[in-house]
Every structure is written in structure tokens, then in C-alpha cells.
Structure 1
Amino acid sequence: MDLTADTAALADATAEATRLLAPRYTEPVLAGLLLHATADGLTLAGNDRERAVSLSCAAIAHTEGTVLVPAKPLAETLRALEDPAVRLVVEGSQLAVRVPGARFALPLLDRDLHPGAGAPATDPVAEVDAIALATALRTVAGTAAKDDSLPMFTGVRMHGDGTLLRLVGSDRYRMATASLPMRGTAPFDVLVPAGLLGELAKLAGGTVRLHTAPNRFGASWGSVHVSTAVLDGGFLSPDAIQTSTVDTTLRIDAGALAAAVRRIGLYTDAGGVLELAVADGEIRLSGANQRSGEATEHVKADVSGGRTSPSFQVRYLLDALRPFTGQEVSLGIQPGMRATIVSAVDPGDVNITYYVMPMRAPGR
């Protein structure tokens, strides 16, 4: 294989492919990237038997061919180059990366041990706007668990009914849901690993096409296609959370509340728990720590219903408020240890709801 390509374009394509591949591998060969050069350009593909990605990049192929090379070193080398054009050429058992005055050589990996580029994309079952999808995923995927010991909580449930895409994520202590418009041809309901969706939210542009196949889910935009094995997620549903016992509702500026929470958080104990006490026309946030002292701050709010004093972990409450920056939010507080429901007073096309569990206050 021998080709010449624009350095910046090839660096971007390689970096995108590397980010969409899984960060950990059971076999070194799965960390490789397949480069397939033809008269039509260059195709980059990776496959770790669960996640597969492919995309194309413009290139002039002097000699057509396919090689497998370590993905991360190739991406880092291309990113470090400043020359406008780069040449990739097979030299013995290495792939040489050449620019005027410099040569970098990567080992060729055994293609026979690699699972290949993966199955081609199925026809899309839905299309969504990339910006709207990214807005929803930044919140919903962020609530999924990071602990692989409970894999069912490491995914985002995606349910499409033809006109609306609904997303649900939870780590057992909080849950976020979002809905956004979609154009669909067939209903689907899958649990997709949140790690991949988090990268998709950062990289996708234009219109994102969603694909489903038995036990797999895929997304594509431009020349990029990524697919993954799905998880078992029929249990993950906001219907499992009781919301009929809200007895106190607050309307408050999300930014003002978040700023106060951050300040009071400086005075909380090691668990980072603060108390939110509801009064007439305001709420009072308080925290105490034997070493740093104590703090209290009052924030104006429209209050309806009863009076209550739930406690929350600072980090979780800030995460719940972050999607609503610049908006007025409604906090539906339920008695006891039931979830508090956070939503925008005037939601847009992307309608997000966040459920955050209260914590037991220190000393109670």
C-alpha cells in the first residue's frame, strides 16, 4: 500500500476512528486500525468484536492495498505533524509515515487475527438532528453508571416510535430522560452502551442516521458508521420511579440555584451533602463541616405546596441542574426518600427530565 493524503484530514479521520473504538481491548490486535486504499480513497475501520467503526478519507492511492496498524500511535503521529501532506507506504513489515525530512514507522499487525471491518450498515430506521441528539446525550449518557460490575446500568435506553426519540439513563441513584423529534420508518427499543454515545455526542454532525439489527445498534453521519452490541435493558424505564406524590413544587432560576449549591458545597462534609429547606418565597441551602465551618444561603423561588427539607449530594444536584443553565426550572419534591423531579418550565424541542434521589442528612 502506498498513498498520499492531506495531513489534517487524515489526522482528523484517524482520531475520530480511534475515539469511537473501545478504550480497552482483550487482545492487542483489536487495538489496530484497518487502512484500505483504493482508487476511490482511503477507508479506515476498526472492530473489537463488540464495537465496529468505519469512515472514509480522501487520498491518492499510488498502490492499492490493506494493512492493519496500531490505531493510537498512528493517530498521535499524524496529529503531531505540521506538513500539509503525508505519505503512508508499506516498507517490509512496517507502515512508514513520511513527510519531508522525517520518517515514522509503525509495525504491521497480523490481519488474519483481526475480525475485519464488520458487517455493513443496515438501512436506517430513524434520522435525528445531531445537535439535538448531542444535547440530550450529554445529560442522559452522563447519568449512566461507570461501574462495569452492573453492565445493565452502563447503557442508555433508546426508544423510537416514528416521530419521537426517547432516551433514558440511570446509575440507580439518579435518572435522566430526554425526548426529541425524529423521522422514523420502524419502531425500535435498545439499550446502547453510554460510553459510545458520549463520544457520538462530541463527534456527530448534520443528520444522524440510526440503524438497528438483531442484538446491534448503529449510527452514521457523513461517511462515518459505528455500531455496537446492545445490552439487555427492558427494565430501564422512568415508569419505575414514583412521581405521583409531589407535595412541594419550586420554580427557580437554574443558574442562581447552581451557583448557591457550589458555594454551600464548600462547607459540606466528606459526603458532600447539603440541606435544602423550603420557606415562603425562598429556599435555604445549608451545609456544615467540622473542619471548614458552616454556611447558609437563601435563594428566591416561587413555592407551592408544603414545606420540606430534603438533603442532596452536591455533585448530583449540580448534575441535575446543568442541562437547564439559563432557564427557569421546576423542582417537584416528594416526601421521604423519593426522587425529586427537575425539568424546564418552558422546554424546547429537547425535553429533559432529571430525577435525583435525596440523601440522608449528616447526623439523621
Structure 2
Amino acid sequence: MKLTVDRDVLADAVAWTAHALPNRPSAPVLAGLLLDAAADGLTVSAFDYDTSRRTTAAADVAEPGRVLLPGRVLAEVVKALPAKPITLALSGTEVTITCGNAEFNLLTMPADDYPRLPEPPEPIGTVDAQQLAAAVAQVAPAASRDETLPMLTGIHLDADAEHLTLAATDRYRIAARDLTWQPTTPGDNVGVMIPGRLLHDITKSLPAGEVTIGVGDSLASLQASSRTTTVRLLDPQFIDYRARHSLDDYQIWAEVDATPLIAAVKRVTLVGDRGGAVRLVFSDGQVIVQAGGGDTGRASEMLPADLDGADIDIAFQPGFLLDGLAGVDGRVRIGMTTPAKPALIVEPGDDPAYRYLVMALRTS
């Protein structure tokens, strides 16, 4: 194998692919990045049996070939090289990386032992990449981090002829976001569960444009530009989140600017006990944000708010409340019934695309 490639192009391809490298590989070869040089360019791949990444970069290939190199070392080396063309040349069990006056010789790993990467499943539709990334960022905080309950660590994707809906829950809150998309076969409905942490990581690095989503028996894929990612699916069982997100269930509605409310919650909780509550006391024309009362002290802040319904004093876990408020730009509506029942955070409008149900805390 011998090729020449632009330094920035290779650095981008290697850095993106290296995100799929496992921290504790189950086999030594999984710590490597697979480089395939062919007439159409250089393909860089990584695989850990749960997720795979591959991307093709433009390169001047003098001698086609295939080599497996230590992934994290390669990423650090390429990142540190000057902004000049890079030459990679295989000789025996070493790859020589030359860039300007710098030269590195990396020992190869046994490429024949590297597992075959899964093929992307059949596409089910396309969606704007940046809108998908924003939607995943809105719902991902509600996915559980408890790996002993895999079902709760995922983001559920529901797809029909008009909408792609993402939803997640950790039993204390339920977040959902609707997106418009273009299904491949409009009559088909799809419901799958993708690991939330992986989906969030994948969508953060999507290039601008359309992303094609594929779904098979056990795999999902996202393809955008020259980048392809596959991820193993979780058990698709999920709660009936739509029934819990009905606007008709709430008799009290408050509307307030999200950014000042977020800032006020962060300020007053500076004196709150660890794991303590933040209280929102709504009355006509205002909301008082309160926290503390233990050994440290108390804090409160008043903000203007519109209230439709009876006055209410309701408390939340601060982090859960902030995650929900962060998903809304501009004005936020909060639907409530009693201080002991969950509240619904939504965008203004009759059919909000983003809905976040959060449990209320009982306070003495």
C-alpha cells in the first residue's frame, strides 16, 4: 500500500472514525483502525461489534492495499502533523508516515484477524442531519445511564408516513420530539430502539445535508455524505409515551421565557442541598423560583409569567427541570394538575413538536 493524502482530510477521517474505538476492546485487533486504499480513495473503518464507522477520503493511491494500525496512536500522530500532504507506505510489518520533515513508523496489526464490518441495512427514509442532531440532543438527557436496564438507555425511533419521532425515558421523565422526514416506503411504520449515548455521539458529528436512516433485524445505520455508521439495536419494547404527553390532561398552564427561568433555577440552587428540590410558585403574572432551606441558606427569584388556571406551588429535581427547559427556545409552556403529579414542558402551540414530562417532588 502506498498513497498520498491531504493532512486535514486524513485527520478528519481518522478522528471521526476513532470515536468507534472501544475503551476496553474485547480483542486486541478492535483497538485498530482499518485502512483500505483503492482506486476510489482511502476508506478508514472501526468496529467494536456494537457499532461501526467507515468513511472514504480522497487520496492519490499509487499502490492499493489494506492495513490495520493502532487507532488511537494513528489519530494522535496525524493530528500532530503539519498542514502538508501525508504519504503512507507499507513495508513489511511497518507503515511509514511522512509529512514534511516528520516521519513515523507504525507497526501494523494483523488485518486478517479483523472482523468483517456489517453492511448497512435497507434505508427507511431521509431526514435533515442538523434537525436530527438537534432532536437527539433534546431527548437524550432523558435516557437512563443505568446499563443494568438496557431498555431505558435507548432512544426510541417511531416512523410513519409523516413524522419521525424520537423518545427517551429513565422513569423519572419522558422526552419526545417529532421531525418531518421523507420515508422510503410511506406505508411502512417502524419502531426501533437505538442506544442513546451512541446515537447522540453519532449525530453530533453529522455533516450538513440529508442523512439516510436504515433499519434491519438487529442493526440501524446512518449514512451522510461519505460517512456510514451502524449500531446494534436494543429490545424495541417501549412505554406508551404518547398517552402521557396529551395536552388535554393538564388544567393549569404557565408560560414564561425559558432562558431567564433556566438562569434563575441555576442561581437559586447554588444554596440548595445536594439532591434538594427547586420550587416554582406560580400565581397571576409571576413565578417565584425557590431553593434551599437547609444548613446553607435559602434563595428566591421572581420572574414574570402568564398563568391560565389556579395558583400552584410545585417542586422538581433541578437537573431534570433544567434538561426539559433547555429543549425549548424562547417561550416555554408548563402544564400542571396538582403539586404531586408530573408536569409537561412544551413549546407554545396546539401541537408542539417537543414534549417533556417530568415528575414532581413531594415537599414537606
TM norm structure 2: 0.93
- Are the aligned partners of 2:139 and 2:168 in contact in 1 as well (CA < 8 Å)? yes
2:32 is aligned to 32
How far apart, in 1, do the equivalents of 2:278 and 2:122 lie? 50
Q: Is 1:233 paired with 2:236?
A: yes
Matching residue of 1:167: 166
Q: What is the rounded CA distance, in whole Å, between the counterparts of 2:136 and 2:360 in structure 1?
A: 24
The residue aligned with 1:343 is 346
CA offset digits 1:121-148 (Å, max 9, x no partner): 2332100011111110111123211221
2:259 aligns to what? Answer: 255
Pair 1:305-2:309 in alignment: yes
How many Å apart are 1:281 and its aligned residue?
Answer: 1.6
1:89 Cα deviation (Å)?
1.6
Query: Which piece of structure 1 moves more, 232-241 or 150-159?
Result: 232-241
Output the CA distance in 2 between the equivalents of 1:46 and 1:300. Answer: 52
Contact 2:84 2:100 in 1 (8 A): no
- Quick one: distance in 1 between partners of 2:258 and 2:307? 15
Structure 1 distance, partners of 2:341, 2:295, is: 31
Q: Name the structure 1 match of 2:197.
A: 195
1:52-71 to structure 2, matched below 5 A, reads: 52-71=52-71
- Matched positions, count: 359
The equivalent residue for 1:72 is 72
* Residue-by-residue CA offset, 1:292-317 (whole Å, 9 max, x unaligned): 31111111111112222111111111
Distance in 1 between residues matched to 2:83 and 2:203, nearest whole Å? 30
Asked if 1:222 corresponds to 2:200, the answer is no
Structure 2: gaps of 5 or more residues: none
Q: Distance in 1 between matches of 2:106 and 2:359?
A: 50
More moved, 104-113 vs 74-83: 104-113
Q: Deviations over 1:28-86 (max 9, x none)?
A: 21121110001221111122122122110011112211011122221121111113211
What's the offset of the Cα at 1:261? Answer: 0.8
The answer as to 2:210 corresponding to 1:211 is: no
CA distance in 1, matches of 2:113, 2:314: 56
* Cα contact 2:21–2:32 (8 A) shared by 1: no
Which SS does the other structure have where 1:208 is aligned?
strand
What is the Cα-based RMSD across aligned positions, in Å? 2.0
- Cα pair 1:242 1:338 within 8 Å, conserved: no
Alpha-carbon distance between aligned partners in 1 of 2:294 and 2:326, rounded to the nearest angstrom = 29
CA contact 1:170–1:176 (8 Å) conserved in 2: yes
CA distance in 1, matches of 2:25, 2:344: 38
1:143–1:171 Cα contact (<8 Å) kept: yes
**Paired residues of 1:168 and 1:237 also in contact (CA < 8 A):** no
Question: What is the one-letter code of the residue matched to 1:168?
Answer: A
| Alpha-carbon shift at residue 289 of structure 1 (Å) | 4.5
Q: What is the CA–CA distance in structure 2 between the aligned matches of 1:79 and 1:182, rounded to whole Å?
A: 36
- Say whether the 8 Å CA contact 1:20–1:196 is kept in structure 2: no
> How far is 1:216 from its partner?
0.9
Amino acid at match of 1:250: A
Measure, in 1, the Cα distance between the counterparts of 2:127 and 2:245.
30
SS of residue matched to 1:146? coil
Contact kept, 8 Å, 1:272 with 1:315, in 2: the verdict is no
1:179 is aligned to 178
What's 1:355 paired with? 357
TM-score normalised according to structure 1 size: 0.93
Taking the aligned partners of 1:154 and 1:89, their CA distance within structure 2 comes to 43
